[in-house]
């Protein structure tokens, strides 16, 4: 079985805000139903920061996400997914999936019908927050 490698360009091209939000909602529903295992984050201390591991398992497979808290200009991370039969299915490299996951989670806190939206963020994370909100609201200017 071939392992798929996904980079930020593929995430940007193929992951819609609606699909990301649907995946987060499905994960939360699975957690409530007891079909998702998602223990607390694990941290491995390094000299100048930590490696932070998020792990989980669900009906179709299991996986992990690793990011760091080392003070650098990069927010790169890696996500690895296996099928239930142990085959390595997918490796996602780069920060974009994490940004969009965070935005999808935040979008689940419903945005009301006010005419203005305040985004308390900057850079790429601010963009993905607006990306997720656009599934609920038509944004004409930022």
Mean pLDDT, the chain cut into blocks of 10 residues (142 residues total): 94 94 88 90 94 93 95 91 96 94 76 59 71 74 68
User: For 4-19, how does the pLDDT look when each residue is reduced to its tens digit (9 = 90+)?
Assistant: 999 999 999 999 989 9
Q: Is residue 56 part of a domain?
A: yes
CATH number at residue 41: 3.30.1780.10
Question: How are the residues of the chain apportioned to helix, strand and coil, as percentages rounded to the nearest 5?
Answer: 35, 25, 40
Q: Is residue 95 one of the residues assigned to a domain?
A: yes
Lay out the sheet containing 61-68: strands in order across. Answer: 4-6, 88-93, 78-83, 61-68, 50-58, 42-45
In a domain, 65, yes or no: yes
pTM of the entire predicted model = 0.75
Q: What percent of the chain has pLDDT over 90?
A: 54
The verdict on residue 140 lying in a domain is: no
Q: How many domains does the chain have?
A: 1
> Per the domain annotation, does 105 fall within a domain?
yes
User: Do the domain assignments include residue 16?
Assistant: yes
Q: Which domain holds residue 58?
A: 4-133
């Amino acid at each position: 079985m071939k392992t798929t490698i996904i980079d930020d360009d593929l995430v940007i091209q193929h992951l819609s805000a609606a699909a990301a939000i649907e995946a987060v909602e499905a994960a939360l529903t699975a957690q409530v139903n007891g079909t998702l295992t998602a223990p607390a984050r694990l941290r491995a201390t390094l000299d100048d920061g930590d490696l932070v591991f998020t792990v989980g398992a669900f009906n179709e497979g299991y996986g992990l996400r690793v990011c760091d808290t080392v003070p650098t200009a990069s927010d790169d991370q890696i996500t690895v997914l296996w099928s239930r039969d142990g085959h390595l299915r997918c490796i996602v490299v780069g920060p974009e999936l994490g940004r969009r996951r965070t935005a999808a989670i935040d979008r689940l806190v419903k945005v009301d019908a006010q005419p203005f939206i305040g985004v308390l963020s900057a850079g790429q994370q601010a963009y993905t927050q607006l990306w997720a909100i656009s599934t609920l609201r038509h944004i004409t200017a930022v």
